[in-house]
Amino acid sequence: MQDKAVTHPFEITLAFDDNRHASMLFGQYDQNLAKVERRLGVLANAKGNHVTIKGPVEACEQARQVLENLYARVKLGQAIGLGEVDGAIQEGVLQGSLFPNAEIGRTVFEQIGTRRRGVVRARNATQDLYLRILKRHELCFAEGPAGTGKTWLAVGHAVSLLEQGIVERLILSRPAVEAGERLGFLPGDMREKVDPYLRPIFDALNDFMDGRMIERGMQTGMIEVAPLAFMRGRTLTNACVLLDEAQNTSAMQMKMFLTRLGEGSRMIVTGDPSQIDLPPGQVSGLNEAVGLLRGLDGIGHVRFSEGDVVRHDLVQRIVSAYEARARDPNFSNGGTRR
């Protein structure tokens, strides 16, 4: 009887020239290596500044490329976390071939750079498309679930435009209250009323700009964070204007906002159509605008899916579960089968 052939897994050992940089690459408790293992189906064992990768040939080659690319970023002083690992893996997939003798051109994800954050690179193909569209179009719509980086990347892009002198000011806005914007019923002065609703934008802004620069910018009018209701009647010139949570605008509010666009300005509109808090029967301004304006010159549109979530692995699974229920008519609103 003929013996069955025994297949041995492929093995690569990488040696990095700096122990400290290697430790930053591997992550706390080797969490970055664990991410590579889960995503690519390999085994990665670190010892000092060496890491041994075992598994199928193509997966090992991809893991090697991912780790080498991330190590190059560490040497440039860039922070490496689980999101950057995901991005490097997606970038490798987009390149089409991972072997050095391939004759296919290398594709590098788009990036933005700010003084505080340094270089921020897209983490997946949809984010890459988003950044490309932001750079090419005066008006961009971005739709998709929470955790895909719609608002964060938009704020980063806006800050980069400001620092390059392409625009003179930033105007960041949201519907102050999900649908009604009844600010008078909230306690405190005007800033105290709107701060809780605009906090996510402040958080993103603080990621890309020093706190003192933000405060100075808000005092001089270079940075303005305001509820959507305050946009009426204005003409916004030489500015980058961001409207977040746009799914909760009415059709009239959206029209009002879009017609504020002035000379030398850019406008970014982001929202999640699956989280509309408008009263039943009221049309979302985001949905209507995307349908009406799709394909017009100067207007870009990006749609993120649950597979593009970069916030946390668990968030991606949560979004996927809700999306699956929305697609399954056998589930009731309470989450139980009929």
pLDDT tens-digit series, residues 20-73? 989 999 988 888 898 899 888 899 999 888 999 998 888 888 888 889 888 988
3-state secondary structure string across 96-156: CCCCCCCCCCCCCCCEEEECCCEEEECCCHHHHHHHHHHHHCCEEEEECCCCCCHHHHHHH
Residue 79's pLDDT is 80
Angle CA 252–254–258, to nearest 5: 120
Residue 93's pLDDT is 65
Residue 222's pLDDT is 94
* Residue ranges, the chain, pLDDT below 70: 1-8, 93-107, 176-196, 311-313, 315-316, 327-338
Residue 303's pLDDT is 93
pLDDT, tens digit (0-9, with 9 covering 90-100), for 198-236: 788 888 899 999 989 999 999 999 999 888 888 888 888
Comparing 10-94 with 124-327, is the CATH topology the same?
no
Residue 312's pLDDT is 64
Residue 200's pLDDT is 82
Residue 255's pLDDT is 94
What residue spans define the domains of the chain? 10-94, 124-327
CATH of domain 10-94: 3.30.1370.10
CATH of domain 124-327: 3.40.50.300
Residue 116's pLDDT is 85
